[in-house]
Structure formats: structure tokens, C-alpha cells
Amino acid sequence: MNILIVGLGLIGASLAKTLKKNTSHRVLGWNRTESVSRRAVDDGVIDETGNIEDLIPKADITFINFYPDAIAPFILEHQALFKENSIVTDSCGIKTKLCKELDKRDFHFYFVGAHPMAGREVSGYDNSLATLFDNASFICTPYDYTPKYITDALVGLAQEMGFARTVVTTPEHHDEMIAFTSQIAHVLACSYVLSPLAPYHAGYSAGSYRDVSRVARINADMWTQLFIDNGEPLVREIDDLVSNLMKFKYAIVNGDENQLHDLMEKGNKIKEEIG
Amino acid sequence: MNILIVGLGLIGASLAKTLKKNTSHRVLGWNRTESVSRRAVDDGVIDETGNIEDLIPKADITFINFYPDAIAPFILEHQALFKENSIVTDSCGIKTKLCKELDKRDFHFYFVGAHPMAGREVSGYDNSLATLFDNASFICTPYDYTPKYITDALVGLAQEMGFARTVVTTPEHHDEMIAFTSQIAHVLACSYVLSPLAPYHAGYSAGSYRDVSRVARINADMWTQLFIDNGEPLVREIDDLVSNLMKFKYAIVNGDENQLHDLMEKGNKIKEEIG
């Protein structure tokens, strides 16, 4: 197959490197800043680049790796160019809004939302890795009218690429879970380092500070879009988190050792059981 | 020197292993459960064990590695036995309460509170490591009347043991910083996994879930004592955290992209600058 990677930043270039490493498909690539596409060819990360109008018609599967709000406009603008019955997919971190915008039965290609679930605190082509998706999940969110063979083809490609796990679900369930597993983790890491004591942590910190604060290194442009577009599930998670923090606070204020012990024992048990 | 390690759990046995690996001091050890002391001798983790009444008088430096509330009672009960001018120290995670309880100028030995800053999600002798304190800070909190040569001797031992950094400060400053770098991190990890969605994270989680939830694996008995005994600074951190989380919430609810972007940019900048 010809697989086109549109956008050669952290995720796009890592997808390209993974395809080159683990599959024998031909990898086409395109990036808005042309110098990056040329470097990707020189580095062997992609096999071919060129004008986007020439690349799109050749692709059996196209991955769009843009900021969330730029994906649907790009697909709609270039819709006439996609190959008949080809698969068009993406890699952005939320799915409900995008899948609604592209919920069109009359496309001559198949759009299937996807989320290769990995990231780094740094971004851009230079930080991309052929190993970024080792141990990662590949989640995709087809429509109820997406033919099964299309979903199977996308899932099959993810397996061939070496993703540790593939999940097929609805955009809504994806976004609710991601609000918990990823978005609220970023919100709380940022909220944590905003403490007035953060600048003085050196000498007083160990593994728990390091791990809990890690994802405060955040791309504010991209995550602003992701948070706004997934507001409802994310606010629900913030509310749950604040309510649990307040239980800790009142147990401490009241010197209620039993309540405090119960809360931790519950947290410990959940973590022990679910990993 | 003869160095006595009282309590051979995760921290005590790791201290013993570090002393054996990096120094040539003689390491005496004692544990309430005698079978553990005998295993430690067999494993070469300590050089000698025996009755606590026989061991204490031999020690130039004694490390007490008990749960926070058991340290002062142990020292007071055995105070007559400590060697003249020897150093008695501990390894527990908060210092103000303990240092107040042991603030006695008329001891014939010197008590200096200490905190070798490392831990694991698992506890006990079997999980101790000779490498636990690699890259760790050794913090100690002498009284204003503690002779400088005594503090220097303790700090010197920590350096000899290979701690990456030594810090001398007041108990109050230590506890305020630890409320931020360690305690609130444990509170929020527990609060996080108490979300109703936590049990369903498999397939939807990656590095941010793993890192932020790691320290929810917690020893509820020990941390209940630590949290209650450091209530005021910890509640201040919970309040700060909740207030920052609410800023995120309202920015999202109001669709205020600028405010959301500012919060993350601020968090990102702090993390970038302070590590």
C-alpha cells in the first residue's frame, strides 16, 4: 500500500518511522514547512514527498496529523482528491467533535477517526521516534455505517506497525476515557507546578515530584483546543478530582485518621488491582 | 565508626546496604522481628545483630527507621543507653513534630532529625536496594544549639554514602517543602485513581496516566501519620491545588481559550525552568 503521512511533527514523523521499521508499505509524506519533508526524505523517514495535490490521489491510507481544529478543514478542502474507497484517518487526541464534522455518508472515501496513544513532553520532527508507539494503544472510532472490512484494514495496519493493543470504540467513549487517562493528568500536573513552592523544590524532591509534574511540560496551543473541544467530560473529571481532594482535606483538618486511612487504602487497592 | 540501623524495612535495610557498598564503617542492625535481623546478617547487609540493649551503647551514629509516631518513644525509652556524644538520627518524612518532641538540651547524645529522600511503592526488607539513594537528597534539621561538628559529621556520612545532595535546614521549612514535593503528590495520585473511570483505563492509557497514578500505591498506615502530623502545610497545598484546578475548570466552562492557554503556558514555563 501507499500510506501518506500529512504533517511530519512528533506524531506524524513517528508514524512514518514506525511504518518504515515494521512494514514494507511505501510511505509518502508531506509537511506544511517544505524543508521538513525534504529532510524526512534524506533521513529515509519517508520514501517520497511532493505537492499535496499529487500525493493525496496515490494514497490507500492517509493519516492527517494536525492540531485538532485543522483536520476537518483540510479533509474537506481536499476531498475531491482522495482515492476512491481509500481510508482517511487522523491522530488527534479527541474524537467526538471531529467525527461529527466528518460524518458524511456520501464521501467516496472512508473517514475513520483514530488516536495512536503516545506522546512526549517535546514536539516536532526532531523529537520523533521509531519506538514512540512501542507498548501503545491504537484506538479507532468508526461510524456505525463504516464497513467492517475498512475498520479491519486500519486495525490490521496498526497491528502490523507493532502497536501493543488496538481498541475499536465510539468517539464519545474514547473522549470520556481520555478525559480521565490523559487530559485531567495534564490539568493536574500544571495545577501542581503552579504552587508558590514549586520554584524551590530542588533538594526536597524525589520520584513523586518528578512523575506527577512531568506532563506539565505541555504544548499550550494544542492542549487548549483539546480541552475546549472535550469540555464536558473533562469538567466532570475535574469535579471528581476536586471532590476527592476535599475529602482528604477535611479528613486532615478534622484529624480523622480512619477516614484518611480509608481513602488511601481505597486508592492503593484500586492502583494495585488495575495497574 | 559503628553505625546502628534500627528497623530493617525498606529504608533501614537500604541505608545498611548503602553503607556496606560505599563506606567501610561497621554496620550493626536490629529489627523488631528477629528473623529479619538474622537474614540481614546472612545476606551480608549488616555485620552484627543482637539485643537492642547491647547494640545501642556501641553505636557512634544510630539511625531509627520506624513509623513517625514510634521514633520519639523509642529514643526516650532507651535514652540512657546511647553512647556519650554519639549522634542519634532518623529517616521519617516529616520533622517538625519529632524535633519538638526531642528538643532536649540535656541529652548526653545529639539528636538530629534527618530525611534520606527516597521511597518505593513497595515496602519491607525484601524490597530494599543498595541503589535506593542514588540521585537522592539527604536532608537534616539540626537545632540551633546542635554543635556544627555534629551536623558536619552527619552530612559527611551522607556524602560518603553517595547521596547526590545534602541539605541542612529547619524542620519547619523541610515540612513545608515536603508537603509540596511529596505529600500533595501522594494525595493527588490517590484522588486521581478514585475517579469512577479508573477501573476501565486499560487500552486508553499511556505515560501520563502511569506517571501521575504511580504513587497511589501507598502504605496507608504510614502516610496517615505523616499527613496528620503535617496537617497545616499539607492543607495549604491542597487549597492551592484545588484553586488552580478551579481556574482550569472555569476557563473550560467559559470557553475562555486565552485564560486556558495562559495557565498552561505558565505551568509549562515553570516546569521548563525548574525541571
The alpha carbon of residue B138 is apart from the nearest alpha carbon of chain A, in Å, by 8
Neighbours of B35 (CB within 10 A): 9
- Cβ distance B200 to A177 less than 8 Å, yes or no, reads yes
pTM here?
A: 0.90
- Please name the member of B119, B197, B238 whose beta carbon is closest to the beta carbon of A206: B119
| Nearest alpha-carbon partner for B190 in A252, A69, A150, A66 | A252
d(CA A132, CA A203): 32
Q: What is the mean pLDDT of residues B212-238?
A: 96
Does pLDDT of A158 surpass 90?
A: yes
Neighbours of B273 (CB within 10 A): 9
How far from the centroid of its chain's Cα atoms is residue B111's Cα? 17
With beta carbons less than 8 A apart as the criterion, state whether B119 and B147 touch. no
Neighbours of A147 (CB within 10 A): 11
Does pLDDT of A195 surpass 90?
A: yes
- Per-residue model confidence (pLDDT) at position B16: 98
Chain B residue at shortest CA distance from A225:
B257
Does pLDDT of B107 surpass 90?
A: yes
| Nearest alpha-carbon partner for A63 in A105, A22, A103, A18 | A18
**DSSP state letters, A14-47:** HHHHHHHHH---EEEEE-SSHHHHHHHHHTTS-S
| Nearest alpha-carbon partner for A119 in A29, A37, A215 | A215
- Sheet strands side by side (includes B87-90): B26-30, B2-6, B61-64, B87-90, B110-111
Q: Quote the cell numbers at residue A67.
A: 492540531
User: Going by DSSP bridges, is the β-strand pair B87-90/B110-111 parallel, antiparallel, or unpaired?
Assistant: parallel
Helix or strand run (H / E) with residue A113: strand A113-117
Band (pLDDT 50/70/90 cuts) for residue A166 is: very high
Q: Write the CB contacts of B33 (distance below 8 Å, at least 6 apart in sequence).
A: none
**DSSP state letters, B121-186:** SS-SGGG--TTTTTT-EEEEE--TTS-HHHHHHHHHHHHHHT-SEEEE--HHHHHHHHIIIIIHHH
Helices (H), chain B: 10-22, 34-42, 52-55, 68-77, 96-101, 148-161, 171-178, 184-193, 207-213, 220-229, 231-253, 257-274
With beta carbons less than 8 A apart as the criterion, state whether B87 and B61 touch. yes
- Indicate the burial class of B196 (C-beta count within 10 angstroms; 0-12, 13-18, 19 or more): exposed
Band (pLDDT 50/70/90 cuts) for residue A173 is: very high
Residue positions counted in chain A? 275
- Cβ distance B227 to A139 less than 8 Å, yes or no, reads no
Band (pLDDT 50/70/90 cuts) for residue A90 is: very high
- Per-residue model confidence (pLDDT) at position A2: 98
Question: Looking up cell 519533508, which residue turns up?
Answer: A37
* Chain A residues in contact with B271 (beta carbon < 8 A): 189, 193, 213, 216-217
In DSSP terms, A48 is beta-bridged to: A28
Q: What is the mean pLDDT of residues B151-175?
A: 98
Band (pLDDT 50/70/90 cuts) for residue A121 is: confident
- Which amino acid would we find at residue B251? A
d(CA A242, CA A236): 10
Neighbours of A100 (CB within 10 A): 10
d(CA A121, CA A214): 8
d(CA A68, CA B241): 28
- Please name the member of B118, B194, B261 whose beta carbon is closest to the beta carbon of A270: B194
With beta carbons less than 8 A apart as the criterion, state whether B195 and A241 touch. yes
Q: What is the pLDDT of residues A214-261, one digit of tens each?
A: 999 999 999 999 999 999 999 999 999 999 999 999 999 999 999 999
Residue from B197, B214, B226 whose CB has the most chain A CBs within 10 Å, to mutate: B197
- Cβ distance A235 to B249 less than 8 Å, yes or no, reads yes
| Exposure string for A162-172, b = 16+ CB within 10 A, e = fewer | bbeebbbbbbe
* Chain B residues in contact with A257 (beta carbon < 8 A): 224, 228
Q: What is the mean pLDDT of chain B?
A: 97
- Please name the member of B119, B240, B271 whose beta carbon is closest to the beta carbon of A216: B271
How far from the centroid of its chain's Cα atoms is residue B30's Cα? 20
Chain A residue at shortest CA distance from B120:
A207
Q: Coil, helix or strand for A170?
A: coil
Q: What is the mean pLDDT of residues B180-197?
A: 96
Q: Quote the cell numbers at residue B68.
A: 513517625
Band (pLDDT 50/70/90 cuts) for residue B121 is: confident
d(CA A124, CA B128): 40
Residue from B134, B163, B211, B265 whose CB has the most chain A CBs within 10 Å, to mutate: B211
- Cβ distance B206 to A136 less than 8 Å, yes or no, reads yes
| Nearest alpha-carbon partner for A208 in B206, B190, B211, B233 | B211
Q: What is the pLDDT of residues A48-65, one digit of tens each?
A: 999 999 999 999 999 999
Q: Quote the cell numbers at residue B187.
A: 494525595
How far from the centroid of its chain's Cα atoms is residue A133's Cα? 11
d(CA B92, CA B113): 8
Q: What is the mean pLDDT of residues B155-168?
A: 98
With beta carbons less than 8 A apart as the criterion, state whether A211 and A188 touch. no
Interface of B with A in 208-227 (CB under 8 A): 208-209, 211-221, 223-224, 227
| Nearest alpha-carbon partner for B59 in B5, B16, B22 | B5
| Nearest alpha-carbon partner for A180 in B16, B109, B193 | B193
Q: Is B67 on the interface with A (CB under 8 A)?
A: no
d(CA B275, CA B271): 5
Q: What is the mean pLDDT of residues A176-183?
A: 97
d(CA A226, CA A94): 7
With beta carbons less than 8 A apart as the criterion, state whether B215 and B123 touch. no
Does pLDDT of B111 surpass 90?
A: yes
- Please name the member of A188, A220, A231 whose beta carbon is closest to the beta carbon of B264: A220
Helix axes A220-229, A231-253, angle to 10 degrees: 100
Q: What is the mean pLDDT of chain A?
A: 97
